Amino acid sequence: MTNEPVLPRSDARSLDEVLTAAEARWSRHVETLDWQPGYRIRGPEDPFTAVQEYGHHAHWQEYAASHLRAYLDRTERPAPIEDANAQNDAWAVEDATLSHEVARARAAAARETYIALARQVGRTDERFISNVAWNLVGHFDQHFGYMVAGMLAHESAGWERLTAILDARPEGALHRGEDGVAWDATMVYAHLGRWMEIQFPRVEAFLATGEVPEDLGGTVDELNARWMAEDAALTFSEARRRTFLARDRFVRMVYDLPIERWTSRVVGLCMGNSAGHYQEHLDWIGRSG
């Protein structure tokens, strides 16, 4: 996992600086895409998955490499792509049957070829460095922004599904936890809010130091039991309001994070106690009928 709290700057002035920033972007992409290969990375309504993301970058890296190869060989450069959207769609169809492993390997190979050719060209002028920076850094930052937006779309969809159920059934048991205890809507709301609140300082610590505090003050079961006892007197409205406020803070935090501060670790910290946690309770409710 990427453990640096901030990725190298994207406005590099030399090829070596660009390649340092590029390595961090590639690592972040691979770690995130390989986390859940079948995940719809641009949101639940968009079928774009990790395979298409890898394939997209492979094609563009191959195209960029063909320009560098033509420069080195002093041959005619490839024809420009007049309609990038149409070309992306055509490539997506072409890649539809690729496996995750094949798509990742192709993207990695295309990237390494492009880097090797860029080193061979060896130019130091601003135009060349800027082009390399876009292909290896800017393009990946742009797509990671799409992925963050997709994560928020998944979070929002899960939140709406879960809160609709909780609000429709404010009384009575909704599901039983792993310990066999019956949970009602007030307990679920209070529980969600507690885990959101405990995550904020962990994210902030990681962004400041690159380390995540592992001592939460107890095991997961111990924390859940302690919070359940402390929140036993909460009304449905109180628990709901507290958790909505915590979720609003979460959404603001995610929107305020610039792309260079996102790493795969931040993805895990943010999504594990939001979309992932919502789905856990939705699954329990589903199993309880």
Q: Which string of DSSP letters, residue by residue, matches 205-262?
A: HHHHHS------SS-HHHHHHHHHHHTTT--HHHHHHHHHHHHHHHHHHHHHS-GGG-
pLDDT tens for residues 9-26?
556 689 999 999 999 999
**Is 125 within a domain?**
yes
pLDDT value at 4 more than 90: no
CATH code for the domain of 59: 1.20.120
**Pair 153, 281 in one domain:** yes
**Pair 153, 283 in one domain:** yes
**Pair 176, 77 in one domain:** no
pLDDT tens for residues 97-128?
999 999 999 999 999 999 999 999 999 999 99
Number of structural domains (the chain) is 2
**Pair 19, 108 in one domain:** yes
**Pair 166, 113 in one domain:** no
In angstroms, rounded to a whole number, what is the distance separating the alpha carbons of residues 193 and 10?
A: 36
Band (pLDDT 50/70/90 cuts) for residue 227 is: very high
pLDDT value at 136 more than 60: yes
- Look at residues 117, 146, 175 and tell me which one is the last residue of a structural domain: 146
**Is 119 within a domain?**
yes
**Is 276 within a domain?**
yes
Q: What 3-state DSSP class applies to 176?
A: strand
**Pair 57, 160 in one domain:** no
pLDDT tens for residues 191-212?
999 999 998 888 889 888 888 8
Q: What 3-state DSSP class applies to 184?
A: strand
**Pair 190, 237 in one domain:** yes
Domain that holds residue 179: 148-288
Mean pLDDT of the chain: 91
pLDDT value at 257 more than 70: yes
**Is 194 within a domain?**
yes
- Look at residues 106, 131, 146 and tell me which one is the last residue of a structural domain: 146
Helix (H) or strand (E) holding 149: helix 139-168
**Is 63 within a domain?**
yes
CATH code for the domain of 210: 1.20.120.450
**Pair 125, 54 in one domain:** yes
User: pLDDT > 90: what percent of the chain?
Assistant: 67
* Residue 177 or residue 43, greater confidence: 43
pTM summary value = 0.87
